[in-house]
Structure formats: C-alpha cells, structure tokens
Chain A
Amino acid sequence: MNTNSFGSKLAGGIKKFLWMAAIPVILFVIFWVATPGFGPNSILVILNQSMIPMAIGYGMCFLMKAGMMELSAGAQIILIGIVGVQFSKTFGMPGFIIGCIVTGVLTGLLKGAVFALLRIPSMVISLGMCLILEVIGRWIAGGKGKMDLDKSLGFIGKVPYNFVIIAILGILFLLIFYNTAFGSHVRAIGNNEVVAKSLGIKPIKVKFLCYTVCGFFFGFAAILQVCYSNTIAAKMSMGSLPMVFKPMMGVLIGIELNRIYDNFLVNILVGELGMAIIFNGLMAAGLPTTIQDFVTGFFLLFVMLISANRESAGDAIRRIKLRRQAAKQEG
C-alpha cells in the first residue's frame, strides 16, 4: 500500500509537471500555426532571450517570497557588469567572472546591511538603492557612461554557455530554495512573520541572507547581460527600472502557478518562456515592438486568471457531473 501511494504520488507529480510544461508548448504551437514567420527556427531566439530574466528572477524569488519588494535589481546588475568589465581589462576572463560574482555578493550584502540597519520597508530601500547604485555605476563607468567587453570574452555568456550557466543557477536555486533551512525560513516568513518569529526564526537575519543570495544570482545575471551585446551602459534617474519588470513578472507568474505545482524552478521558467514566446510570436506577426509591454501585462493577467479560477473550474465540472448522475438515479 505504501509503495502504491508513493507510485500514485509520483504519477501525480509528473502529471502536474506535464501540465506546466504544456503551457509554453501550447503557446508555441498556437503561434506556429497562426504566424508564418514563426516556427522551430524561433526556438533558439526565445530560449536565448529568456536566460537573462530567468537569472534575475531566480534571485528575486527569494526576496519576493519573503514578502519583499525589489526594484533596484536593474541598477545593481548594471553596476555589477561595469565592475566586472573593469576587472576584465586587467585580469581577463577570470577577472570578469570573479569580478561579477564577488561584486554581486558585495552589493547584495550592502543592500542587506542597509535593510538590517534601517529596518524600513523594502520598497523604500529598493527605490533608494536604485538611485544610489545607478550613480555609483555611472561614476565607475566614467566618460561615456558605457563599458565595452573585449570581443574575445563575450562568448562566455552566449549560446551555448549561457544555457550552461542557467542550468547551474537552476540547480543551485532548487537546492537553496527547497533543500536548506534558509529556504523553508524564507517561505515561512512570507507566510506569517509573527508566527515564524515565535518559533525562533530571525526575520531580519533571513532577509539579510535573501539580499546576499539574490546578489550572488545577480552576479551571473550581470555576466549574461554584459555578454548579450558585449557592452553595458550606465543608466540614471531610475532608467534601470524597466530591467526589473520582466523578471518580476516571471516570478509573479511563478508564484501564481505555485498553487498548481510546488516547484518554483519550473514555474519561473514557464513564466519567462511564455512571455518570450508571445512576444516573439507577435513580432513575427508584424506587430510593433511597443506592443511588448502590453503583451507582458496581458500574459500576467491571463495566468492569474487561470490559476485563480482553476479550482472553481474543476469544481464546476465535478458538480455538473454529480448533478447529472443524481438526476439519472432519480429518473
């Protein structure tokens, strides 16, 4: 009986996973059929485009699950990228990679420290830090406000190496989120901070760690970002803000999908891929680029609609069946 229930549980898990996996597949097929310019040859573009938001999303997920708002991700990643490129000039590839990761962790520590010291809402911190990090980035970049990566180094964040980086990040994410005490504490705090505290969990410490872990993921995101076009430009006056929205959307979709399937790795991936497919599909259909934001917003609302009503839809179907049965028995 034990093995049986294990077997059925496993089957249940696989079934849910297939449901999740079906979302991007179905979207893809719809556009494939509907749009002449869109097809298997778009797959690589879509995957390639999804890697940066995914790396940012996995990092942000820790903060957002602990109930915090994060708007300075863009500024942080630009700063990390600029420092990384600076290091690459003297130390080559190792300088670039290590420079990015270390700067990621350091900026994460900085944000965490500011949060732990000031204890003000994370929304305020993220706006303040956005401005500050932007200025620091601009200042390090100097002159043109733009830094170019040596052409010979850019390959490390391009196909196929970007997929390798995301695979590694994905495994790390899964491990940290589901297989460490820190991961459970993040979710517990997001659920009910007062109760978490009463069980001896220290919210400030956990949130500080969230910022740090998030910074580590952003280090990798910065590598991908710089390599995407072999250059990174400083932004001012919250010009970095738009970089945050796509990954944030992916995480929000992931959180929604979590009601159906408890695996953020897959859910965030589905969210980011889904958005990339719709965007590219519409582009291929000849719609202008400005439609991008519209589509992102629309997709988000669509996913929320489905997941919020999934149970009631299932219920409705079951109810109808049962009522029919009952009517038959009476008749």
Chain B
Amino acid sequence: MSDEKKLLFQAKNMYKSFGPTKALVDVSLDVYAGEVVGLIGENGSGKSTLTTIIARIQKGDQEEMYLEGQPYSPPDVIAATAEGICMVTQEQATFEDLSVAANIFIGEEKQFATGPVVNNAQMKKAAKKALENIGVTHINVSTLAGKLVFEDRKLVEIARAVYADPKILIIDETSTTLGKRGRDILYSVINSIRDSGRAVIFISHDIDEIMEVCDRISILRDGHKVAEMEKKDFTSLGIKRQMVGREIEDNFYRNDYDGSFSDEVALRARNLALGCLRDISFDLHKGEILGVGGLADCGMHDLGRILFGLDKPDLGSVETGYGKRIKKNTDAIKNDFAYISKNRDQEALFSVMSIRDNICIASLNKLANGLGLISNKKEKDLVNTWTNELQIKMDNMNQFVMYLSGGNKQKVAVAKWLGFHADVFILDCPTRGIDVGVKAAIYQLLSELKAQGKAIIMISEELPEVIGMSDRILIIKDGLISGEFPRNPDLKESDLINYMI
C-alpha cells in the first residue's frame, strides 16, 4: 500500500544550530500526498525549527528539499506560499492594529491592487470568503485583530494559511490555543486537505489527538529523528517512550480519587458579571484543585483575569478567605495570589528579557533583604531550582526568552509563579504547549501544592486534564455555571461536554 503513495515532499539531511544548541542534526522527513504527518517530540526537540525552515521563515545550515520531485528552496515565506507550502505558527501571528481582512492578506495585497492602490472593499469581501471557507462566520472582517479573543485570532491565521490553497499545510501547536469550536474547525480543515490529495504536517503535544488525527508520525528527540510510526503501530505508551527515551506512565494525572479539601475558604467569588459572564459565584478552598471548563468564548479566560484583579467586574466581588476585597492585581499579589495567563507572549512573559529576570520578577520583593537589596545568589538559586524542576531547555539563564522553544517559554511563565510561593494559584491553560514528560512533572507539583494546603483554580481547554486533576469541576456556559462535578473516577469528557454546549 505504501508503495502506491505519491511522494509529495521530501526534506533530507537537515541541519540547524543556534550557537551551542544543535536544534536539528541530520533530520529527514517524507510527506506523501493525501496524508497527515504528525511531528512530535519534547519541548525544544526541533519541531518548530524544522517546520519553519520548510515554510522558509528561516533557513537551515544545511538543507535539501524537494516538492513534487522538484528541488525546493524558495528565498522567503511569500515565495514558499506561492510554491504551495503554508504554515500556521506556534506563536501568535496577527497584528492588533490591522483589520482582520488586512491580517488575512498581509503580504498578498497585490491581488486587490490597481497600481499601488489596494481596493479595501474587495479585500474585505475576499477575507469574508476566506473565513467562510474554513467555516467561520462569527468574525467581522473590519474589526481590528486586537479586539478579537485569542481563539478567533488563531482562526484568522488558519484562514490566512488555508486561503492560499497550499499543497502542504503545516500546523504548529495550534490546537491548545483553540477551544472545542476552534478544534472542530481545525480538524475539518485538516480532513478536507487530506481528502483532496494534499498533505498536512501536524505538531501537537496531545498524544491522543496525534493518534486520532495523523496517519503517520515522525518523532524527534534533541534534534535527531528517532522513530517513524504508521497509524497501525500507534500506541500511546510506545509514542511516549520514543519521545522521552524512557518509560513513562500512561496515566500521569493524579491517581487518587479522594477529592477532599479543607473547609477553609481561600478565595470567594460572588455574583461576578463582566462581558459574557453573567453571574458566577463559588468558593475555592485551601487544598483544593478546582477545574473550570467551557467553550473558549464562554468567559472562563476572563474569569481568570477578574479573579486576579486585572479586570474589574461589572457586578460582584472577589475576596480572600479573610474577606479582603481584591480590587486590583496589586491586591491579589499582596495576598499571595499567582496568575498565569493563557496569552503568554503578550501577558505572561517579557520576551526580550532573560530567563532569569522573567522567573525572578514576581518574587523580587521576597528575595530582597532588609535594605531592599537582592542577593545574586538567592536569585540564581531560585532560577536553578525551577529550571531543573521543569527541565527548561536553554543555553544559560541569561538567554532571552524569545529564543526559547514555545513549550519552554510556557515553562518559564509557570516557573515565575511557582517560585513565588503563592497561596492561591489561578492557572489559565498552564500546560499549553508543554510536552507529556514535563506535564507530568507539573501535575505532580500541583498535587504537592494541594497537599501543602494551597488553593488552585485551573482553567483549561483540555478536558482530560481538568478531569484528571480536579477535586471539583465547574462548567461555564452562557455566562453561568451550568454544572458542578465532584472528583469521580467514572467522570467522562462527554459528561462535561453536555453541559458546555
């Protein structure tokens, strides 16, 4: 059967280094017509490096590529698009000051231009079509992209990539930025490309998703290709073993079903209303992991911002267990709250600052001595502890965060707040883009934090994670809490989805 498949794209003996880091060492990749190839590996294993070279966002140190049998080496992204390879990148790639339409056709404005003058009306029409093309009708093409929610901005990027009608579409770690609706759209895009005899290169850290979506996978470890597998050979354990290079447990969530927590309240939310949130009340207890799930635009991400005092609710209040009102985020920090935003590039990290500065920034007050001076050693110890604990892959702690791989950036965002020794953790998609091995470590840490009596609220698009880790789950729908579930071994995703839609 595999002999009959038509080879669509080939990359041979690819090399790429960044200073001392060998991101790719002699990696080859074949892509056949009508298939979805999964590319998986730990954070920093070279997936984005390989695919951005193929999409011509950067160039390899050594590269040899063929598209439909012809040598392929376009000088830049625009030329690559013209040859038929497009990519949806891991990082956010829309411009907030430009309209949705201008974002979709950035770099491709010529098709609407007479001379240098672009016909905006025509462009908007085409943008509308581009969105409808992937089944999106709820986004207004004249809005500035900065006014859209996170998921919609990613959908705009998908529409941009698909509109060029690529022979090969590369999707780098995109599903975790999408909620259920967005994922359904993504999967139908993938299916229609595969069914029309073209191909998709798909990157994800969700092994179940990979096994579902892909026909074949290539596994990278530390810049080397270590294995290839056909769909019939997929097993979750086998894939993980190849990725990490050692056995790891299949079930990395908590394995207790105790679900108990203290009666003492750590955070009290009362009648919160803002935007689409209408009336949200709950108590978060010490030693509790409270999962919050729902569709991407149900308001659960706004809830995180409200609880941390970043957004002011129209109605209602947030209080600590002692009845102190949280009105601003400085109140939250003073009361030892920690918050990890889903939007890591804009809200959680300083990308042109070092890893060290990013991790220490929240804890500077705690690191200072009586005179307000910060000890170098304490700072380094803090950074070393957390970079080891979360296995952050980096050259050294003074490297800028912008040069880390996507998952390693997320680890820095997580490390910042774990190092802060908070009492209340508000985590919005904390494991977004993090590989299975480190995910397990983070879940382990969350269990330890629970055991220490810390209160944790985990907002997540990943239902298995919510079910696997929470003592109690709240599902939000239409701005209200539509369901509450205690920890229970029999709880299934479909039980929750029923309350989401």
Contact = CB atoms under 8 A, between A and B. Distances in A.
A228 to B, nearest CB: 32
A181 B120 contact: no
B252 to A, nearest CB: 33
Interface in A170-217: 175-176, 178-182, 184-185, 187-188, 190-192, 194-196, 198-201
Contacts of B116: 176, 180-182
Nearest to A195: B93
A319 B142 contact: no
A179 B118 CA distance: 5
Given A179-B118, A200-B77, A322-B314, A187 B113 contact: no
B357 interface: no
Contact of B117 (A180, A184, A200, A201): A180
A180 B110 CA distance: 9
A200 B95 contact: no
A270 B81 CA distance: 42
Nearest to B118: A179
Contacts of B119: 179
Contact of A187 (B93, B94, B98, B109): B98
B78 interface: yes
Q: Which of under 10, 10 to 19, 20 to 34, or 35 or more describes the interface residues of A? A: 20 to 34
B91 A191 contact: no
A9 interface: yes
A322 B76 contact: no
B310 interface: no
Contact of B109 (A184, A192, A323): A184
Nearest to A176: B116
A319 B107 CA distance: 42
Contacts of A196: 95, 106
Contact of B118 (A181, A187, A315): A181
B395 to A, nearest CB: 19
Contact of B144 (A188, A195, A199, A262): A262
Contact of A199 (B106, B142, B312): B106
A294 B417 CA distance: 44
Contacts of B315: 319, 322-323, 326
A185 to B, nearest CB: 7
A192 B146 CA distance: 12
B490 to A, nearest CB: 39
B95 A188 contact: yes
A179 B120 contact: yes
B312 A319 contact: yes
Q: Which of under 10, 10 to 19, 20 to 34, or 35 or more describes the interface residues of B? A: 20 to 34
B273 to A, nearest CB: 7
B273 A322 contact: yes
A89 interface: no
Most chain A C-beta atoms within 10 Å of own C-beta, residue among B78, B102, B113: B102
A315 B96 contact: no
A310 interface: no
B188 to A, nearest CB: 25
A187 B120 CA distance: 16
Most chain B C-beta atoms within 10 Å of own C-beta, residue among A180, A181, A185, A319: A181
A231 to B, nearest CB: 36
Interface in B306-350: 312, 314-315
A320 B107 CA distance: 45
B89 interface: yes
Given A179-B118, A180-B118, A188 B314 contact: no
Nearest to B273: A322
Interface in A281-331: 315, 318-319, 322-323, 326
A215 B93 CA distance: 31
Most chain B C-beta atoms within 10 Å of own C-beta, residue among A9, A185, A190, A192: A192
Contacts of A198: 52, 57, 77, 89, 93
Interface in B65-80: 76-79
A222 B93 CA distance: 40
Given A178-B120, A322-B315, A326-B315, A184 B57 contact: no
B117 A188 contact: no
Contacts of A262: 144
B97 A191 contact: yes
Contacts of B91: 195
Interface string B38-56: 0000000000000010000
Contact of B98 (A176, A180, A191, A315): A191
A315 B106 CA distance: 33
Contacts of B89: 198
Contacts of A201: 106-107
B158 to A, nearest CB: 14
Nearest to A197: B57
Contact of A180 (B76, B78, B106, B113): B113
Most chain A C-beta atoms within 10 Å of own C-beta, residue among B52, B76, B95: B95
Contact of A191 (B57, B95, B314): B95
Contacts of A181: 107, 109-110, 113, 116, 118
A319 B116 CA distance: 47
Interface of A: 9, 175-176, 178-182, 184-185, 187-188, 190-192, 194-196, 198-201, 262, 315, 318-319, 322-323, 326
Interface of B: 52, 57, 76-79, 81, 89, 91-98, 102, 106-107, 109-110, 113, 116-120, 142, 144, 273, 312, 314-315, 402
Given A194-B402, A196-B95, A199-B107, 18 more contacts: A175-B117, A179-B117, A179-B120, A180-B109, A180-B116, A180-B118, A181-B116, A185-B107, A188-B95, A195-B92, A195-B93, A198-B93, A199-B77, A199-B106, A200-B78, A315-B312, A319-B314, A323-B315
22 contacts: A175-B117, A180-B113, A180-B116, A181-B116, A181-B118, A184-B109, A184-B118, A185-B106, A187-B95, A187-B97, A188-B106, A191-B95, A195-B95, A196-B95, A198-B57, A198-B93, A200-B79, A200-B81, A201-B107, A315-B312, A319-B312, A326-B315
Would you list the 4 A-B pairs with minimal beta carbon distance, nearest first? A181-B109, A200-B77, A200-B78, A191-B95
